[in-house]
Amino acid sequence: MFDSVAANFVLHCVPGTWAEKGHAFGHVAQVLADDGVFFGSTILDTGVHHTPLSRALNSLYNGPITLFHNRGDDLDGLHTALAAAFEEVEITVVGAVAVFAARLPRRLGS
């Protein structure tokens, strides 16, 4: 078991919806110690403040360059996906970035 697992600036690069990305959270919950923490950060697409430059870069990285896969990623979806795998979820939004910590992993079969 791990005491902590980090995913900083990774999730916005993972293809799929929050429901699909959330499968990874379930896997993290299975290997996290009972008192461990899963933490990280990700760039959200909707429902947050983007500057004109960040909006242009987000569009570019989701389009022609295809580094990002965060179209439609929002705070509620992130919270829902984390809460499916963890009993305690904290998220702070800084600009267009969600910084999160999740504790008390939900185990399969429990």
How do residues 6-41 score in pLDDT, each as one tens digit? 999 999 999 999 999 999 999 999 999 999 999 999
Specify if 110 maps to a domain: no
Specify if 98 maps to a domain: no
**46 within 8 A of 77, measured Cβ to Cβ:** no
Specify if 23 maps to a domain: yes
Specify if 105 maps to a domain: no
Helix or strand holding residue 88 (H, E): strand 86-94
Helix or strand holding residue 86 (H, E): strand 86-94
Specify if 85 maps to a domain: yes
Query: How far is Cα 68 from Cα 70, in angstroms, rounded to an integer?
Result: 6
Q: Tally the domains of the chain.
A: 1
Mean pLDDT, range 50-56, rounded to an integer = 96
Q: In the chain, which residue ranges form alpha helices assigned H by DSSP?
A: 18-31, 52-62, 75-85
Query: How far is Cα 29 from Cα 92, in angstroms, rounded to an integer?
Result: 21
Specify if 89 maps to a domain: yes
pLDDT given for residue 109 in this prediction: 63
Give me 95's structure tokens: 């600009």
Which residues constitute the domain of residue 38? Answer: 2-93
